[in-house]
C-alpha cells in the first residue's frame, strides 16, 4: 500500500531511530499542531473521539482544491495524544481524500510505536485515524466539505 509522500517521510523519521528514542520523536510532534482556525470550535465542526481518555476533537474539511485540511483540539496536558495529531497533520494535511482513505489502520505499528507506547494509547491513535478516515469519506462523498459535532 502506498502512503502519501508526506506520511512516508514521517514513517521514515520514526523507523530511522532506535526503538527507545521513538517516544521522544513522537513527543516532538506535539508542537506541530497548529491552533484551531477562528470560530471552528464554535461552529460544530469538531467531533470528539470518544475512545480517547483525554478530550480529543478533530475536524477534516476539504479545501477549494479538494485537499484534506485537518484540525485538532487536544489539551497541551496530553502530549501523547497531541503528538498523534501532530503526526497526522504533518503526514496528511493537504493530501487528497483517496490518499487519506488508503492509510492503513496499522499506521502506529508502521511508525514503530508498538513497542514504545502502551496498548491503550495505540488503540487511541487507531481510533483517531479511523474517525479521521470516516470524516474524509463523508466529506468527499458530498457532505458539504465538513463533518462533526461538538
| DSSP type of residue 41 | G
Distance of alpha carbon 21 from alpha carbon 17, whole angstroms: 6
Distance of alpha carbon 72 from alpha carbon 84, whole angstroms: 10
For residue 42, the Cα-to-chain-centroid distance in whole angstroms is: 21
Active site residues: 52
**Quick one: 50 exposed, middle or buried, by C-beta within 10 A (0-12, 13-18, 19+)?**
exposed
| DSSP type of residue 93 | T
Residue partners of 92: CB distance under 8 A and separation at least 6? 4, 6, 7, 68, 70, 99, 100, 103, 132
Amino acid at each position: 500500500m502506498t502512503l502519501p509522500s508526506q506520511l512516508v517521510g514521517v514513517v521514515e523519521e520514526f523507523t530511522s531511530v532506535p526503538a527507545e528514542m521513538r517516544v521522544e520523536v513522537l513527543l516532538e510532534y506535539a508542537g506541530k499542531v497548529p491552533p484551531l482556525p477562528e470560530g471552528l470550535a464554535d461552529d460544530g465542526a469538531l467531533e470528539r473521539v470518544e475512545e480517547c481518555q483525554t478530550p480529543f476533537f478533530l475536524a477534516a474539511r476539504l479545501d477549494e482544491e479538494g485537499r484534506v485540511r485537518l484540525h485538532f483540539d487536544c489539551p497541551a496536558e496530553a502530549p501523547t495524544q497531541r503528538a498523534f495529531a501532530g503526526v497526522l497533520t504533518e503526514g496528511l494535511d493537504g493530501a487528497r481524500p483517496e490518499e487519506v482513505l488508503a492509510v492503513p489502520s496499522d499506521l502506529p505499528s508502521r511508525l514503530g510505536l508498538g513497542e514504545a507506547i502502551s496498548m491503550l494509547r495505540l488503540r487511541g491513535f487507531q481510533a483517531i485515524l479511523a474517525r479521521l478516515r470516516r470524516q474524509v469519506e463523508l466529506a468527499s462523498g458530498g457532505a458539504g466539505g465538513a463533518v462533526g459535532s461538538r
